[in-house]
């Protein structure tokens, strides 16, 4: 964790996170075995159903008790326990570098926590940043698929090495991420959602792929509550576009209203599509978000 002065998550937090398990609303569709119930039938201890024996079935799964009672051959079916792919879409654009603490750092902490919970639950975790930086290629490669609790430490380390910069194309990145996923699963989108092109297309692509989506919108305190007054020429960190604004205390309320409106629209969009939506300032309490909000929203439990 060379890029961060402090560990992403404290030991205490990690301990508390261990008790959680990601709650999947749907049966896992992964092809790999895991600890998730799936629709697939396979080998586990959970009985699912019976079916008629057909030639070639493994005789070990014959229900001999039933044969004794009915004199017919039935095969016991067990639920196959599969893994739950958890995809974290991490906004690593220039705009995430703002804020005190940085929005990107906050986003990585959430990513670490969600990843840790998933790894503890023997789920597959993958991180997709947008944009993808060539310098981070090695770490990103390692983060493409992480599985197993023992991978938690390298996962944290790699996550800590990630950098943010450049301009992101939110919609394009999410769309590509949706297409690239072999199995849909849980998708967590960590972003400020401040893309000039909007967020609808990208989120729509994830929905269409069947992801169970959570959006965590992270805004810097300055964005929520600007403290710079006067005649300003604001320069967009990503597009470089300029916006001239004359701003003062008297207009702060109107600005807050604008921010609220923006978040409310996003919330409504998400609610209407079954997406869990969270908004957090980057200086908010991480514990509050992880241990309370996500739990109450039944992202995990």
Partner 1 sequence: MNFLEPMAFWFALALPVVVVFYLLKRKRVVKLISSTLLWQKFLAENQANAPFQKLRKNWLLLLQLLMLILVILALARPYFAGDAKQSRLRVLVLDASASMQATDVKPNRFESARAEAMKFVDGLRENDQMIVLQAGAITQVKQSATSEKAALRRAIEGAAPTDSITRLDEALRLAETLVKDQNDAEIHLFSDGAFPFPEGFETKSLPLVYHRIGTGAENAGITAMDVRANPDNPAQRAIFANIANVSSNAISARLDLTFNGQPVDLKAVTLPPRESSPQVFVVDQSVNGFFTLKLVVDDALAVDNEASVISLLPQPIKVLLASSGNRFLEKAIRAVPNVELSTTSDVRLGGSGFDVVVVDNIAPLEWPAANVLALNTWQTNWFDQVGRLEQPPIVDWKNTHPLLRFVNFQNVFVNESLAVKTPPWALPLVESPQTPLVLAGELNNQRIVWVGFDALQSTWPLRVSFPIFVANAIDWLNPATSRAELLSVQAGTPFRFRLDNAVNEAKVVLPDGSESELLINTNTTEILFDNTARRGLYRLKTATSEVAFTVNLLDSGETDISPRNELPFGKSGQTVATTVQQANLELWRWIALAGLAMLMFEWWFYHKRTA
Q: Which residues bind partner 1 (CB under 8 A)?
A: 94-99, 103, 192, 194-196, 220, 222-223, 228-239, 241-251, 254-255, 257-259, 261-262
Residue 241: how many CB atoms within 10 A of its CB? Answer: 10
Residue nearer to partner 1 on the CB measure, 87 or 217:
217
Residue corresponding to tokens 């039935």: 74
Residue nearer to partner 1 on the CB measure, 30 or 95:
95
Least separation, in Å, of the C-beta of 138 and partner 1?
27
Residue corresponding to tokens 């201890």: 45
Residue nearer to partner 1 on the CB measure, 45 or 250:
250
Least separation, in Å, of the C-beta of 260 and partner 1?
11
- Which residue in 207, 104, 215 sits closest to 161, CA to CA? 104
Least separation, in Å, of the C-beta of 23 and partner 1?
33
The span from the CA of 301 to the CA of 291, in Å, is 9
Answer whether 110's CB lies under 8 Å from 293's CB. no
Least separation, in Å, of the C-beta of 247 and partner 1?
7
Residue nearer to partner 1 on the CB measure, 71 or 244:
244
CB neighbour list of residue 162: distance below 8 Å, 6 or more residues apart: 3, 90, 92, 108, 129, 136, 139, 140
Residue nearer to partner 1 on the CB measure, 254 or 272:
254
Least separation, in Å, of the C-beta of 94 and partner 1?
8
Pick left, alpha or beta for residue 93 (phi over 0 → left; psi -120 to 50 → alpha; otherwise beta): beta
């Amino acid at each position: 964790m060379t890029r961060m002065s402090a560990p992403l998550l404290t030991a205490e937090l990690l301990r508390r996170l261990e008790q959680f398990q990601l709650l999947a609303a749907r049966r896992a569709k992964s092809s790999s075995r895991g600890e998730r119930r799936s629709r697939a039938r396979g080998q586990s201890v959970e009985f699912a159903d019976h079916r008629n024996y057909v030639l070639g079935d493994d005789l070990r799964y014959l229900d001999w008790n039933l044969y004794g009672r009915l004199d017919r051959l039935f095969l016991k079916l067990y639920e196959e326990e599969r893994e739950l792919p958890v995809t974290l879409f991490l906004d690593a654009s220039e705009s995430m570098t703002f804020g005190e603490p940085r929005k990107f750092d906050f986003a990585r902490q959430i990513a670490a926590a969600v990843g840790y919970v998933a790894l503890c639950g023997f789920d597959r975790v993958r991180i997709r940043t947008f944009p993808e930086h060539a310098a981070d290629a090695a770490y990103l490669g390692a983060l493409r698929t992480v599985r197993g609790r023992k991978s938690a430490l390298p996962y944290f380390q790699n996550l800590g090495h990630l950098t943010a910069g450049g301009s992101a194309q939110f919609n394009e990145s999410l769309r590509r991420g949706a297409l690239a996923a072999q199995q849909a699963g849980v998708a967590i989108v960590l972003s400020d959602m401040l893309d000039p092109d909007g967020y609808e297309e990208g989120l729509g692509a994830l929905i269409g792929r069947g992801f169970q989506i959570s959006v965590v919108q992270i805004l810097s305190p300055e964005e929520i509550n600007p403290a710079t007054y006067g005649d300003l020429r604001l320069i967009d960190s990503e597009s470089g576009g300029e916006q001239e604004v004359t701003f003062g205390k008297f207009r702060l309320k109107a600005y807050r209203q604008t921010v609220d409106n923006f978040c409310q629209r996003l919330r409504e969009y998400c609610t209407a599509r079954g997406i869990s939506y969270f908004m957090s300032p980057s200086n908010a309490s991480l514990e509050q978000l992880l241990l309370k909000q996500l739990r109450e929203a039944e992202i995990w439990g």
